[in-house]
């Protein structure tokens, strides 16, 4: 698989995994989604919204637009899918040359960096995986049932089954 195919697969995996978590957690009441937990963020909802905000910020940075944080004021879980889809479509629209092109962006602290576009995108997908792992752990600590498997290899196996 070439680099373009690999990053496209990561974008599709990110959308698939985030959708699995959101679909499952939308069945929970607000008091579960907002229950205080000891983790990087104080609740399931806050963790998912952090993924949303980061994916929005990285997509805007990589496309040369001003970033915003948070992505929006709403706290609906499905807003994660909205911004994840935007990121997915953005990545799928990039050429191999655009992935390797150097981009200059400013982070939330105002620090400027220049890197090949693919590097921050890989960070973004890895960042989301890290926090999805926290969500899975929190779901188990809260005794929630039907915890979705969001492993990359699970997604890749699904791809192999497609005609």
Structure tokens that stand for 117 in this block: 């576009």
Q: With CA atoms as reference, report the closest residue to 132 among 9, 45, 42, 21.
A: 21
Q: How many domains does the chain have?
A: 1
Tens-of-pLDDT digits for all 163 residues of the chain? 899 999 999 999 999 999 999 999 999 999 999 999 999 999 999 999 999 999 999 999 999 999 999 999 999 999 999 999 999 999 999 999 999 999 999 999 999 999 999 999 999 999 999 999 999 999 999 999 999 999 999 999 999 988 7
Q: 114: helix, coil or strand?
A: strand
The whole domain housing 72 covers 3-157
Q: With CA atoms as reference, report the closest residue to 142 among 22, 44, 74, 67.
A: 44
Q: Note whether residue 163 is domain-resident.
A: no
Q: Note whether residue 153 is domain-resident.
A: yes
């Amino acid at each position: 698989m070439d680099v373009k195919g690999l990053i496209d697969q990561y974008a599709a995996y990110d959308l698939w995994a985030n959708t699995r978590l959101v679909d499952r957690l939308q069945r929970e009441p607000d008091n579960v989604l907002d229950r205080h937990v000891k983790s990087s963020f104080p609740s399931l909802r806050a963790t998912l919204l952090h993924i949303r905000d980061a994916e929005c910020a990285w997509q805007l940075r990589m496309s040369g637009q001003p970033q915003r944080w948070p992505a929006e004021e709403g706290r609906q879980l499905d807003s994660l899918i909205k911004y994840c889809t935007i990121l997915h479509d953005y990545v799928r629209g990039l050429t191999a040359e655009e992935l390797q092109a150097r981009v200059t962006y400013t982070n939330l602290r105002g620090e400027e960096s220049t890197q090949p576009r693919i590097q921050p995108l890989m960070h973004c997908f890895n960042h989301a995986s890290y926090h999805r792992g926290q969500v899975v752990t929190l779901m188990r600590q809260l005794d929630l049932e039907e915890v979705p498997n969001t492993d990359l290899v699970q997604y890749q196996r699904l791809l192999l089954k497609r005609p």
